[in-house]
Structure 1
Amino acid sequence: MRTWGPLTAVCLGTFMLLLDVTIVVVALPDMATALHASLTDLQWVVDGYALALAALLLGVGAAADILGRRRVHVAGVVVFAAASLLCGLASGPGTLVAARAVQGVGAAAMFATTLPLIASVYQGRQRSAALGVWGAVSGAAAAVGPVVGGLLTAGPGWRWIFLVNLPVSVVAIWLTLRVVPESRGPRGMRVDWAGTVAFAVFAGGLTYGVVRAGEDGWTASAALGAFAAAAAGLLAFVVVERRAAHPLLDLSLLRERSFTGVMLGALAFSGVAFGSLPYVSIWMQTLLGMTPVRGGLTLLPLTVAAMVTAVLVGRLLYGVPARLTVGGGLLLIGSGNFCQAVLGPGSGWTALVPGFVLVGVGTGFVSPTVAGAALAAVPVERSGMAGGAVNTVRQLGYALAVAVFGTVLTSRMTGTLPHGAAHTLAGGGAGALRGTVTEHTLRTAFASGLNTGLLVLGAAGTVAGALVLVLVRAPGAAGGVTESAPSTLSQKSTSTPGS
């Protein structure tokens, strides 16, 4: 317990927060029915969590170095647990979305302190072993999320995908307080709250604008207002970061081609790999008639391929430049999306399997190496900041991709369905439309929308992969580089973990 107790405590929190990124995917149709939620509501159930996590990662990581990493980590678990209870008790979509955002706040506090806590406890070979276990837990959480979500939704009900966090949180808090020592960063550091708020305005405004554009059109006042707020937030962020004594992100790093390339790749990665899954799950359950359990199991080709590939990359490709693993992985993910864009009105889920496997293999190349590529592209003293920035843009990219895919999906379906039916169909309301629209029309429209969205993701993945191959020139390796991160992260206030 003395040796592995701290790692167990940290991994419990990591498992919960990453599980909640994917566990909701297969429960969306049941949520829509129970809460009378619209497509926009469902998008925010996913995006509210990811956006809060992305917006606060860097700021909370800096605060933890000042206030105490264990203290902030435990506070994050408490907030996460309380928000999970609110999610499980939600009586309407607005309450659920708000609770999911609060969940993201707690998750940010947990995620931002994970690697610094590990770094403060373990050294040398033990640290390498601890990182390997933590990486395996992180991958397993994402892999089992849809399956666990399906089992809970089909069993006690969708509310239990949130309520199950409560006993795990109690154990995590007790174990953390008992076995994890407190640690802090260097004295004299300050939290860049102005930069944190500006970035949150930018990320939230941009995502909200895309969602509203899908609902009301790109020229609607709500969408244009949100985009204007996002632009103002981005401008404020640049001004603040240029003047801050301890910025969240040193903008001079963006002058490095390699770092910029990695950031672009990281922004695209989670979005192009997983941005389609909420809508694919709705298609499977509402049009193909699958149960939540079977809907979750159909995603196993993707998740198993990702886990197996990640293990093989770590063992066999040590020393291979990360630009090749990250860039090549993104090209594979892009190709996987293209392969999935073959759906027709009579297609079943098996038509997606070749594409799922390609996306999974690409994910297995990118996920364990993208943080190392960022660290290799910057000076050692900036590696904590680089790791945090990569994690932040990954979460932002996922939130944006979910919003963009929904907008593309409904726009494509609008031409073949009656007014308003596209949003109802995409939001899981196929049953309500069957009396007025033929089954063939519903299947044709949804398949066409999915195909278009998948083509967009495929193009984004291909472009991002090409940019990484062109821009990234740092001699980062697929392995090894990431082992240096914890020693740096334990000293830098801007540290956040890579997943």
Structure 2
Amino acid sequence: MSPDRTQWPAVLMAVGAGVFAAFQVGKAPVALPFIRAEMGLDLPTAAWVLSIFALMGASVGSAMGTLVTRIGSRRLLPMGLGVLAVASLAGGLAPSFSLLLISRVAEGIGFMLVTISAPALITLLTLPAQRQMAFGLWGAFMPFGMAVSMAAAPGLPWLGWRGLWLAMAALLAAYALWVHRSMPRPQRPPQSPGSHLLADIGATVKAPGPLLLALAFIPYSATYAALTGFLPTLLMERMGVSAGEAGLMAALAAAANIIGNLASGPLLRTGVSRRRAMAGAFLVMLLGCAGIFQSWMPPLAAYGLCLLVTGTAGLLPSCILGAASVYAPSINLVPVALGLFMQGSNLGQLLGPVVVGAAVAAWGWGAASAILVPAGLAGMGLALSLRRAGKET
């Protein structure tokens, strides 16, 4: 199913929803030092503020995809934004660390609803020839949203992390209302006869490609979450910069990811296969992570490597998410494939900061390389394995 023309204003509105959802990922790293100071937390414990956000997505992402196929992406998009708004409000008012973590789980549910329904909606709003370009824009939602929210770091000393949470709640509520009123209603694909949740998931997992792509999302998101999540702390400890300066430098590193996102469409149009583009990005990731965290690496050089890694790695989410309509068994199962991809992404977000945080606490920053380099190697292997799936790789 395709529309008569690509509805670019609606595509940009859907990308904007992703950006507002990504604000909730980016606000945590810059707020982490302030949360630790207020609640007296060590680094491994505080890392759960970063990781637990991804708990529900890592557990039931593909099931949420089937929810989108039944309720419709147009309905669920503003609902997901609303869930994020309520959860951010609750987190800003949370009197204890445990309640803050519960609110982050709720934010993760809203995030998943947005990040599955928005790309599913983009699929229905675009012509096939322009779909990869649209997904290049969509792939930038995470780094752009994270960078914007991280840029709030200089204001945290007077705004406070709670003020940031409450401000995010107000912005999310306003955007949810706008999407509810203004998003067009594309024609929904027909449901397959006898379709049900387990059958949809089973058909998607058994198809060649979706499971490999979902697994490839794990090492990418684990590395990206660990890099951007701990970069402010690393910069403050290694370079002696202030919290505000570290937040801005981390925002730039997160934003560098947009370069790869936007480059994915033109790169694939030149004839470079999806699997080779992904394998090349993973190679740069593992080589960069071998040096970023080492004590012998000059701090400015380590930061430069971080920019290189996040910029090149931006090819991965666009390549993976743009493949949903290619590898899904049918157009009505695109949301299920997207849910499976986001399940892999969230599993990486869940594991990356916690595992790296525990390793750094036990053995120092250099231990992060021992985790992230093998992750990049695994990603390369998964990307190259796409050759067996055929299609256009």
Equivalent pair of 1:37/1:93 in contact (CA under 8 Å) = no
1:393 alignment partner, one of 337, 344, 348: 344
Secondary structure of 1:247's aligned partner: helix
Gaps (5+ residues) in structure 2?
A: 1-6
Query: Which residue does 2:275 correspond to in 1?
Result: 323
Query: Which residue does 1:201 correspond to in 2?
Result: none
Secondary structure of 2:160's aligned partner: coil
- Measured against aligned partners, the alpha-carbon deviations of 1:354-382 in whole angstroms (never above 9, x if no partner) come to 42133124313323212345655564556
| Number of residue pairs the alignment of both structures matches | 383
- Measured against aligned partners, the alpha-carbon deviations of 1:196-239 in whole angstroms (never above 9, x if no partner) come to xxxxxxxxxxxxxxxxxxxxxxxxxxxxxxxxxxxxxxxxxxxx
- How far 1:40 moved relative to its partner? 4.4
User: Are 1:15 and 2:19 counterparts?
Assistant: yes
CA–CA separation in structure 1 for the residues paired with 2:52 and 2:317: 23
Q: Tell me whether 36-45 or 449-458 shows the greater mean CA deviation.
A: 36-45
Query: Which residue does 1:37 correspond to in 2?
Result: 41
Equivalent pair of 1:373/1:476 in contact (CA under 8 Å) = no
CA–CA separation in structure 2 for the residues paired with 1:136 and 1:260: 23
CA 88–321 in structure 1, closer or farther in 2 if over 3 Å, else same: same
CA–CA separation in structure 2 for the residues paired with 1:158 and 1:350: 28
Indicate the RMSD between aligned Cα atoms, in angstroms.
3.1
User: Are 1:262 and 2:177 counterparts?
Assistant: no
- Measured against aligned partners, the alpha-carbon deviations of 1:27-74 in whole angstroms (never above 9, x if no partner) come to 111111112234344222111211223334332332233234333222
Query: Which residue does 1:252 correspond to in 2?
Result: 206
Equivalent pair of 2:28/2:50 in contact (CA under 8 Å) = yes
Query: Which residue does 1:437 correspond to in 2?
Result: none
CA 327–121 in structure 1, closer or farther in 2 if over 3 Å, else same: closer
- Measured against aligned partners, the alpha-carbon deviations of 1:71-97 in whole angstroms (never above 9, x if no partner) come to 322222222111111111222211111
- How far 1:342 moved relative to its partner? 2.1
- How far 1:297 moved relative to its partner? 2.4
Percent identity, aligned pairs only, is: 23
- How far 1:335 moved relative to its partner? 0.6
CA–CA separation in structure 2 for the residues paired with 1:329 and 1:309: 9
After the TM superposition, which residues 87-126 of structure 1 pair with which residues of structure 2 at under 5 Å, given as runs?
87-123=91-127
RCO greater where, 1 or 2, for CA within 8 Å and sep 6 or more?
A: 2
CA–CA separation in structure 1 for the residues paired with 2:14 and 2:221: 23
- Measured against aligned partners, the alpha-carbon deviations of 1:90-143 in whole angstroms (never above 9, x if no partner) come to 222111111111111122222221123334445567767655544444442234
Higher percent of residues as helix:
2
CA–CA separation in structure 2 for the residues paired with 1:190 and 1:100: 33
CA 118–59 in structure 1, closer or farther in 2 if over 3 Å, else same: same
CA 130–89 in structure 1, closer or farther in 2 if over 3 Å, else same: same
Gaps (5+ residues) in structure 1?
A: 193-243, 413-448, 479-499
After the TM superposition, which residues 81-480 of structure 1 pair with which residues of structure 2 at under 5 Å, given as runs?
81-123=85-127, 131=135, 133-148=137-152, 150-182=153-185, 184=188, 186-187=190-191, 192=197, 244-247=198-201, 250-253=204-207, 256=208, 260-285=211-236, 288-299=239-250, 302-318=253-269, 319-343=271-295, 349-372=299-322, 376=326, 379-380=329-330, 383-412=334-363, 449-470=364-385, 472-474=387-389
How does the TM-score come out when normalised to structure 2? 0.84
CA–CA separation in structure 1 for the residues paired with 2:146 and 2:376: 20
Runs (4 or more) in structure 1 with deviation over 6 Å come to 124-129
Query: Which residue does 1:436 correspond to in 2?
Result: none
Query: Which residue does 1:492 correspond to in 2?
Result: none
Equivalent pair of 2:214/2:342 in contact (CA under 8 Å) = no
Equivalent pair of 2:119/2:138 in contact (CA under 8 Å) = no
CA 467–124 in structure 1, closer or farther in 2 if over 3 Å, else same: closer
- How far 1:467 moved relative to its partner? 4.0
